[in-house]
Amino acid sequence: MRHVTILCGLIGILATGARAQVSPGGSYLVGSSFTAFAMNSPAEPASPAEPRAEPTPSSSTHEPVYGVLQDYNFQVYGGLTYFRFYELPHTTGNLYGFNVSLVYYPHAGHWGADGEFAAGFAPQQGVSTTLDMGMGGGRFRVTGPRNIQFWVHALGGGAHFTPKTIYGSESTFAFEGGGGVDLTPTHSRLSYRVQADVLGTYFFGTYQYSPKVSFGVAYRF
């Protein structure tokens, strides 16, 4: 009888443990399955389509290009001029005056036709002295960075000197060679010019090679 009572007690304990294992274990497995299903089963929402890149406008069409100098067919110049006039051996004169010129560049190219007139004045030994000249020739130009234009020219024509002297004619053949620099502000037709030349003349039975310097303003059109 004692053995039967112990056996029945063991069976009751085992039955109670079995129910406890089934109930919690089932809840854990169901929860685990649901969690795994929630984490792994649904597909991730599709990422929104990336915006399509808009075409970049061409810089040559919509953006200004700097450092390119827009050239025109004509240039007119006016400025102040200084002559160091070597009249005769051991005789020199300083003359101050003005300089004007007009240049035509066909098709706004590098080569142009150049015309120039200049005059200088100075008192010498109580007499008013005048040297004027008119010439024509050719000019060549190139444009560098920062709207700087470099040019050279060669001209030929005539010069006139007063007062008249006993040493020869008041007029003679003259020639000039030299060059200059034009600085043009952005989007402007005006340029600031500095030029230096050598003027060749034949007065008083001898040759003169006189430096000439001018600075002023050029207008392009």
- pTM confidence score: 0.65
- Taking 80 as the threshold, does the pLDDT of residue 112 lie above it? yes
- Taking 60 as the threshold, does the pLDDT of residue 5 lie above it? no
pLDDT per residue as tens digits for the range 175-216? 999 999 999 998 899 999 999 999 999 998 889 999 999 999
- Taking 60 as the threshold, does the pLDDT of residue 2 lie above it? no
Query: Residue 152: which residues within 8 A CB-CB, separation 6 or more?
Result: 139, 140, 177, 178, 179
- Taking 80 as the threshold, does the pLDDT of residue 16 lie above it? no
Nearest one of 127, 131, 129 to 119, comparing CA atoms: 131
**Residues making up the chain, counted from first to last:** 221
Instruction: Place 126 in a pLDDT band, splitting at 50, 70 and 90.
Output: confident
Q: What is the three-class DSSP state of 58?
A: coil
Mean local confidence (pLDDT), 13-37: 43
- Taking 60 as the threshold, does the pLDDT of residue 41 lie above it? no
For the ranges 52-56, 129-133, 160-164, the one whose mean pLDDT is highest: 129-133
Write the DSSP assignment of 101-129 as a string of letters.
Answer: EEEE-GGG-SEEEEEEEEEEEEEETTEEE
Q: Is 4 left (phi over 0), alpha (psi -120 to 50) or beta?
A: alpha
Token code pair at residue 17: 């443990």
Contact at 8 Å (CB) between 104 and 218?
A: no
**83 or 40: whose pLDDT is higher?**
83
